[in-house]
Amino acid sequence: MDDKGIVNTNKKSVLFDYQLNKTPKSSWSADIRKAAFQSYTQLSWPTPTDEQWRRTDITQVDIPGYNPFAIDGAHEIDVPDSVHALSLDNIMMRDTALFQSTAVPLIRKRVETATDIFEVYNLSFFNAGYFIYIPENATIQNEITIRYNFLGTHALASPHTIIIAGKNSSTDITIEHSINNNNVYIHGLTVFLHENAQCRVNIVQNISKASYFFSTGKVSLSSNAVLEYFEAHTGGSIAKTMLDAALDGSGSDAWLRGIYFGTGSQHFDLGTIQHHNANNAHSRSYYKGAASGTARTVYQGLIEVAEHAKKTDAYLTNKNLILGNTARSDSIPSLKIRNNDVRCSHGSTTGKLNKNQLFYLMSRGLSEKESEQILVQAFFEDVFSHVSGGTADKLRKIIREKISDV
Amino acid sequence: MAHALTIHNLKAQIQDKPILNGINLEINSGEIHALMGPNGSGKSTLANVLMGSPEYTVTGGQITLDVQNLLEMQIHERAQAGIFLAFQYPVEIPGVTVGKFLKRALETKISGMNVSDYLKDLRTTMDFLEMDQDFINRYVNDGFSGGEKKRMEILQMLMLKPRFAILDETDSGLDIDALKIVARGVNRARGSGFGALIITHYQRLLDHIRPDFVHIMYNGKIITSGGEELVRQLEEKGYDWIKKEYNLIEEEAHEYSTN
């Protein structure tokens, strides 16, 4: 799609009209897009003067210059019959009652409360996505996998994934992000767990090294729901994410785990919020990262506890491994606690490979390079033990390959 | 085939502090050498320098394995050439399982290794050392007791079949049963293709592994060598006897004994 000529007029608006025309008028998506676009026009792209963006400068990335209509791709979903799963393209063409009654209110709420330009951009311009609905009381034995596989040149992928887990349901969902060349990728994630739902959401981000990745995720947990969220970032030139886990129901439990490994000049800036809005809720963040070359990693973790969220139990851990002398890791934990009846704390460490461990491995015949490789992989193993075997093996392989590049 | 590990006038230091002050020692295949001496005499330094620890700087002398110059070889090259160090304090490596680690270590020596043969060999050797098979899937030394760590070192030695093994105070902290198992492992390796340097403070390990040669180290030098009888003399008369016998300066002895 060639949009030259539009660039000189009001690009933002013309692009948007085009997208709207592609969407059937009756569709729910037209309203959502319009409202999101309204917010989008009022927000500006972040600069390092914004606190959240102090360590990640994207002023050189002309995001609106990447074309959201020039994106192609072949996406897949592996899902058992008992689960309702639909691509958003499909839903836009024929509205389903289930989607209307469950997902639309959630997205609408996101649009109304959004303050992040990536969030509203994604909701204005989403050009792919899936809606997964786990029925009440359903236990899904097999892992559900979504593979976003975008192709383009100077294009913009903007998928949105919506997951609704019914009461007492149990499920394990993996979302894999991939894009070629030099593109921009903006993911939106909306997850809602009903009472007692147990849901694992695994994100594997391994996009091309020249592309940019942005993600805004919102998860809401009802009473006694359990979320096990995992994200892995190994791809992209810059990756900047924010996952806001809202413990809205009492007794809910959120486990946020992540790994990131930056090599070359990669830049990762991951954020989590453990948002305690109800009493007796429990949350843990556990993020581990490694950086080599001139890579830089940032982890910003916030524990926010509302005044009425008594007996909150929240902890946040960040561990970083620096390889070489030119990589850098920043760990920025913070607490905003508005009542005294809580147990909240955080801990972070940053270090280099252990020399004694290296000597030990080498003394058994392993080269220095292989010993380092083994130790970097070993560093992530305790996080992998919480991820399905297939995903863990895939990540082990990616990490091994990345170390060989170092 | 017979091999020789030869140390000639070896000098080494840590930071600016000289520790080895001219060590001469030759170990041939088939020989078990015991190295004894008080704390701070430099025994562990010698073990680590032989393996190529980057903590120490070699300031003089040679170490050769047959015609190979060990000092020009990296740590893993020394291991591949057949040098093995059983560590005094084996490090814990969470995230790396014993099974995978040993498999990789063996693969550096044997190309095209058969995995099922390897596992069979591993299980048999573990049985021999009275080790639980569960250790295969545990992380290397992670949460092991002192005795389990030492057995793990001996297990690795038996699996890797080195030409020369250096056992750095493998007996320290072991109860008598564990000590016997360690000795059993070394005696199993003993043979015409295997030489060892056993570093120890005490006679008791040498009751179970009878050495061919005994060396006494003091102040970074081997001050006397002999046969098994030297162990008994030392046990009866103590290190003070050695000091008097060899006119060692008391001040120096004091300095090192407090290290």
Q: What is the pLDDT of residues A267-312, one digit of tens each?
A: 999 999 999 999 999 999 999 999 999 999 999 999 999 999 999 9
- Check if the beta carbon of residue A189 is closer than 8 Å to that of residue A217: yes
Q: Which of A164-173, A331-340, B110-119 shows the lowest mean pLDDT across its residues?
A: B110-119
Residue B84 region by backbone torsions, left for phi larger than 0, else alpha for psi between -120 and 50, else beta: beta
pLDDT per position as a tens digit, A180-234: 999 999 999 999 999 999 999 999 999 999 999 999 999 999 999 999 999 999 9
Q: For residue B249, what pLDDT is reported? A: 58
The per-residue pLDDT for A123 is 93
pLDDT of A347 strictly over 80 = yes
Q: What chain A residue is nearest to B83 in terms of C-alpha separation? A: A363
Is residue A249 within 8 A of residue A195, CB to CB? The reply is yes
Q: Which of A354, A365, A374 sits opposite B76 (nearest CB)?
A: A365
Tally C-beta pairs within 8 A across A and B.
Answer: 78
Nearest CA-CA distance, residue B223 and chain A, Å: 29
- Using DSSP's 3-state secondary structure scheme, residue A167 falls into coil
- Asked if B109's CB is within 8 angstroms of A366's CB, the reply is no
Q: Which residue has the tokens 């020692």?
A: B25
| pLDDT for res A85 | 84
Length of chain A: 406
Q: What is the pLDDT of residues B2-34, one digit of tens each?
A: 999 999 999 999 999 999 999 999 999 999 999
Are A362 and B109 within 8 A, CB to CB? no
Name the pLDDT band for A3 (thresholds 50, 70, 90).
very low
Name the residue range of residue B54's domain. Answer: 4-257
pLDDT confidence bin for A251, thresholds 50/70/90: very high
Q: Distance (Å, rounded) from C-alpha A260 to C-alpha B211?
A: 52
**Residue-level pLDDT at B237:** 85
Residue-by-residue DSSP string for A224-239: T-EEEEEEEE---SEE
**Chain A residues contacting B via beta carbons under 8 Å:** 354-357, 359-368, 370-371, 374-375, 377-382
Task: Determine the Cα–Cα distance for residues A203 and A175; give it in Å rounded to an integer.
Answer: 5
B156 pLDDT band, cuts 50/70/90, is: very high
Q: Identify the band that residue B255 occupies on the pLDDT scale cut at 50, 70 and 90.
A: very low
Distance from CA of B33 to the nearest CA of A (A): 21
Domain ranges in chain A? 11-352, 353-406
Residues of chain A positioned with their CB less than 8 A from the CB of B50:
none
Kindly list the residues from chain B whose CB atom is less than 8 angstroms away from the CB atom of residue A382.
94-95
State chain A's mean pLDDT as an integer: 91
Three-class DSSP labels, B33-73: EEEECCCCCCHHHHHHHHHCCCCEEEEEEEEEECCEEHHHC
* Mean pLDDT on B190-199: 96
Indicate the pLDDT class of residue B241, thresholds 50, 70 and 90: confident
Average pLDDT over residues A310-330: 97
Write the pLDDT tens digit of every residue in A100-138.
899 999 999 999 999 999 999 999 998 889 999 999 999
CB contact under 8 A, B104 and A355: no
- The CATH number linked to B92 is 3.40.50.300
Contact predicate A156/A184, CB 8 Å: yes
Q: How distant is the Cα of A138 from the closest Cα of chain B, in angstroms?
A: 34
**How far is the alpha carbon of A377 from chain B, nearest alpha carbon, in Å?**
8
Dump the DSSP string for A9-63: TTHHHHHHHHHHHHS-TTSHHHHHHHHHHHHHHH-----TTSGGGTT---TT--G
Contacts of A396 in chain B (CB under 8 A): none
Model ipTM value: 0.94
Per-residue DSSP letter, B191: B
- How high is the pLDDT of residue A10? 53
**B104 closest CB neighbour out of A354, A359, A366:** A366
Alpha-carbon gap: A386 to the closest alpha carbon of chain B (Å): 13
- Of the candidates A360, A362, A363, the beta carbon closest to that of B93 is on A360
Residue A403 has pLDDT above 90, yes or no: no
pLDDT tens per residue, range B97-138: 999 999 999 999 888 889 999 999 999 999 999 999 999 999
More reliable by pLDDT, B242 or A233: A233
**8 A C-beta contact, residue A291 and residue A329:** yes
Q: Assess contact for B164 and B197: CB atoms under 8 A.
A: yes
Q: Is the pLDDT of residue A321 over 90?
A: yes
Give A326→chain B minimum CA distance, Å: 22
Which residues on chain B place their C-beta less than 8 Å from a C-beta of chain A? 51-54, 74-76, 78-80, 84-85, 87, 90-91, 93-96, 101-102, 104-105, 108-109, 139-140, 156, 160
Compare CB distances from A365 to B95, B109, B140 and report the shortest one's residue.
B109
| Closest Cβ opposite residue B51 in set A354, A363, A377 | A363
Angle between helices B98-107 and A368-384 in degrees, nearest 10: 160
Chain A contacts of B156, Cβ < 8 Å?
364
Higher pLDDT, B185 or B202: B185
CA distance B138 to chain A (A): 12
Q: State whether A377 and B54 contact (CB < 8 Å).
A: no
The mean of the pLDDT values for chain B is 92
DSSP string, A356-390: HHHHHHHTTT--HHHHHHHHHHHHHHHHHTTS-HH
Q: Which of A304, A191, A213 is nearest to A260 (CA)?
A: A213
| Separation of first and last alpha carbons in chain A | 38
Alpha-helical runs (H) found in A94-135: 97-113, 117-125
B79 contacts A365 by C-beta, under 8 angstroms: yes
Instruction: Provide the domain count of chain B.
Output: 1
Query: What are the tokens at B215?
Result: 């060396």
A69-78, A159-168, B238-247 — which is least confidently predicted? B238-247
What residues in A contact B54, CB-CB < 8 Å? 355, 359
Percent of all residues in chain A with a pLDDT value above 90, rounded to a whole number: 79
State the amino acid at position A169 in one-letter form.
Answer: S
